[in-house]
Amino acid sequence: MLKSFNEFTENQDQLQKRLVVTFRQFNPPVVSDERLIASVAKLAGRSDYKIYASHTQDKKKNPLGHKQKISYMRKMFPRYARQIVNGDSTKTLLDVADKAAFDGYDTFEVVTDRDHVNEFETLLNSQNGQPGSQFNFKNITVISSDDADDESATDMREAAVEGDFEAFSMGIPSSMAGKDKQMMFDGIRDAMDIKEDTDYAKVSSSEIRDLYKEDKIFLEDSTCANLDGETLLVLERGPNFITAQNADSGEVKKHWLKNLNII
């Protein structure tokens, strides 16, 4: 039976090894996500809770990489920063369940939107205690929350596509620094391959350095080009260089800013 968030909160069992989680795209994270995270914390009470963002990435609906999302979420929701998990081993809901079991939890509860309740219940119960599965919980419950709003993220992506930074900013908490809002806006546009009108071929080396210091170009998980026109994927940022992977050869090495072009 589908239980509403409020009904479940009123009737929840107080179990010693209980973990409450949410697992969502958060692409991008938006101001309304704080209500969802707060509802997870409320449901958990004195039990543990964790917030997981999926690793799914594509140009249309999931432009931001996982590490980018976690970084922005912790800045947007500092009150819950310690519960927002940055984990390479928890890419799917089943991975999250495996980790919970490994950590000793015997009760696993998931807060999600109404559309995913049946899907998550079926998935988790079909694997619980099965041969080859790493989890065998005493209790699994999936709870719907009206605070899980996918439309807000859609609106944010559309604002980024249209180049409407003002509308985009309305979906971000006012407490977030302006430069971080701009970074997320630019990062989404870059990941979605939305080209600026600027003729980057005419950007000087000094301008590139200034843009780099302002965190406007060569962000992690974005692309750029070397002087030979080869596409590079930015892995890490240094003070005046980046570490990047060649999209064709797969080679990873450092590149000085003066030897890079914006694409």
Q: Which two tokens stand for residue 19?
A: 């973990």
Encoded amino acid at 183, one letter:
M
The per-residue pLDDT of the chain, averaged, comes to 88
pLDDT, tens digit (0-9, with 9 covering 90-100), for 168-210: 999 999 889 888 999 899 899 989 988 655 444 456 778 888 8
Q: What is the pLDDT of residues 105-117, one digit of tens each?
A: 999 999 998 889 9
CATH fold of 195-261 reads SH3 type barrels. (2.30.30)
Rounded Cα gap, residues 255 and 174, in angstroms: 36
Q: What is the pLDDT of residue 119?
A: 96
Looking up tokens 């938006």 gives 30
Contact 160, 31 (CB under 8 A): no
Encode pLDDT of 121-164 as tens digits.
Answer: 999 999 999 998 999 999 999 999 876 666 689 899 999 988 88
What is the length of the chain? 263
Q: What is the pLDDT of residue 146?
A: 77
- Summarize pLDDT for 77-116 with one digit per residue, the tens: 999 999 999 988 999 999 999 999 999 999 999 999 888 9
Domain-by-domain residue ranges, the chain? 5-151, 195-261
- Whole-angstrom distance, CA of residue 187 vs CA of residue 220: 9
Instruction: Please tell me the predicted confidence (pLDDT) of residue 107.
Output: 97
In the prediction, which pLDDT does 249 show?
85
Q: What is the pLDDT of residue 150?
A: 65
Distance CA 249, CA 85 (A): 32
Q: 5-151 has which CATH code? A: 3.40.50
Cα(156)–Cα(170) distance, integer angstroms: 9
Instruction: Identify which has the larger pLDDT, 229 or 10.
Output: 229
HSE at residue 97, side-chain half, CA atoms within 13 A, is 26
> How do residues 42-82 score in pLDDT, each as one tens digit?
999 999 999 999 999 999 899 999 999 999 999 999 999 99
Phi, psi of 144 (to 5 degrees): -85, 145
pLDDT of residue 151: 66
**Percentage of the chain exceeding pLDDT 90:** 60
